[in-house]
């Protein structure tokens, strides 16, 4: 491969493009609509993309909400609002309990002060003072302990309920960041993870791998999307099985996967890429019922170390350029980014993604 002077590669601003497309189509730029068009843009759900395309530029909010309820029922505002309202109620109840406990303790302190003043008075006999003090303190203590025990139980119950709600909210977040087909992280989760790489001083020892299934469009055209979906799920499983526990892997597009490797040198990152590539190329893809052979299925992988990039966008761009070079030089290979690599300006970016 001949080296050439690399120009500044600009990464498309997905958010801006999605927002622009929504504005052109007359779609209200509210969060739940953005969610739909974002998923359609990155191509992770072909059925959703087709349904939105079928609506054209005259989609009503009711039609969009209907699609959203079917594809993102786990993220539907009603569900999140319900959890939020429940947590607000529980917090209010908990604060009320704590205020009642504070009031009870203040009353108890007043009883103690009054008893002390009576004991200090010289107008009563010692026997009378003792009887009054014992009676008052005994009654106040029993009442306070009884009320306190009840409040402790109520506080414990509210705390348990709030913990359940917290777990439910965590589950919402997990589902929101998970690709429903492969069960890997999705593009949203990857964007967050990628942005955080340069937040630590040890970011230089982080590798980014971008992998793309070779000729995936031909697979879909030949065998249909249901088979393509099964292949995507299997590819995700193979990638995950060949990574360390601390590695992050996501499905970032239709047939594209991204892997973030912490604490890895350039040599180690390339070794991981090769291990994944070889493992997939030797994995059989056959229909056990019909005997149809869908394989071999191969990956092209672009690799770049964070130390070779200025920021997350630059890191993604350079890994992407390395992926392009892997595709352009024959596919089914892993290539580490090097200075001088660039995309062929005379070719469409979409050519190598077919």
Dihedral of the alpha carbons of 156, 162, 167, 169, in degrees to the nearest 10: 180
For 41, 67, 99, the CA distances from 236, given in Å and listed in that order, are: 21, 26, 53
Give the integer Cα–Cα distance in Å for 302 and 322.
4
Q: What angle is formed at CA 302 by the lines to CA 19 and CA 345, rounded to 5 degrees?
A: 65
Q: What are phi and psi of 261, to 5 degrees?
A: -110, 105
**Burial class of residue 72, CB neighbours in 10 A (0-12, 13-18, 19+):** buried
The residue written with tokens 């390339």 in the block is 270
The answer to whether the CB of 181 falls within 8 A of the CB of 229 is: yes
Would you please indicate which residues are annotated as catalytic (active-site) residues?
Answer: 255
What six digits make up the tokens of 215? 């000729």
Residue 188 and residue 250 in contact, taking contact as beta carbons nearer than 8 Å: no
Phi, psi of 215 (to 5 degrees): 55, 40
* Unique residue bearing structure tokens 């493992």: 279
By the 8 A CB rule, do 54 and 46 touch? no
Q: Longest Cα pair distance anywhere in the chain, in angstroms?
A: 109
CB within 8 Å of 350: residues ≥ 6 apart: none
Distance (Å, whole) CA 49 – CA 40: 5
β-bridge pairing 248-251 and 256-261: antiparallel
Question: Would you tell me how many other CB atoms lie within 10 Å of the CB of residue 150?
Answer: 13
Identify whether the C-beta of residue 334 lies closer than 8 Å to the C-beta of residue 303: yes
Residue 14 tokens read as 């997905």
């Amino acid at each position: 491969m001949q080296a050439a002077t690399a120009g500044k590669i600009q990464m498309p601003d997905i958010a801006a493009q999605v927002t622009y497309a929504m504005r052109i189509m007359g779609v209200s730029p509210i969060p739940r609509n953005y969610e739909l068009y974002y998923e359609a843009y990155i191509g992770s759900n072909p059925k959703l993309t087709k349904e939105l395309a079928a609506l054209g530029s005259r989609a009503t909010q009711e039609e969009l909400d209907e699609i959203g309820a079917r594809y993102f029922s786990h993220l539907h505002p009603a569900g999140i609002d319900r959890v939020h309202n429940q947590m607000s109620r529980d917090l209010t109840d908990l604060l009320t309990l704590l205020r009642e406990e504070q009031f009870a303790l203040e009353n108890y302190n007043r009883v103690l002060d009054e008893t002390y003043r009576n004991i200090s008075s010289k107008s009563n006999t010692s026997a009378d003072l003792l009887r009054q003090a014992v009676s008052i303190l005994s009654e106040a203590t029993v009442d306070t302990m009884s009320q306190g025990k009840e409040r402790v139980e109520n506080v414990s119950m509210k705390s348990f309920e709030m913990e359940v709600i917290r777990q439910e909210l965590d589950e919402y977040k997990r589902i929101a960041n998970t690709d429903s087909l492969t069960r890997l992280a999705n593009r949203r989760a990857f964007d967050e993870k990628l942005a955080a790489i340069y937040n630590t001083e040890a970011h230089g020892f982080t590798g980014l791998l971008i992998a793309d299934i070779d000729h995936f469009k031909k697979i879909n055209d030949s065998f249909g999307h249901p088979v393509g979906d099964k292949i995507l799920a299997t590819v995700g499983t193979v990638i995950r099985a060949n990574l360390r526990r601390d590695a992050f892997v996501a499905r970032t597009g239709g047939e594209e996967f991204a892997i973030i490797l912490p604490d890895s040198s350039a040599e180690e990152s390339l070794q991981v890429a090769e291990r994944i590539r070889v493992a997939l190329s030797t994995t059989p893809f056959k229909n056990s019922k019909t005997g149809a052979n869908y394989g071999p299925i191969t990956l092209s992988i672009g690799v770049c170390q964070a130390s070779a990039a200025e920021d997350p966008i630059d890191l993604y761009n350079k890994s992407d350029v390395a992926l392009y070079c892997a595709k352009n030089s024959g596919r089914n290979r892993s290539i580490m980014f090097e200075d001088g690599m660039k995309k062929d300006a005379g070719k469409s970016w979409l050519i190598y993604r077919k």
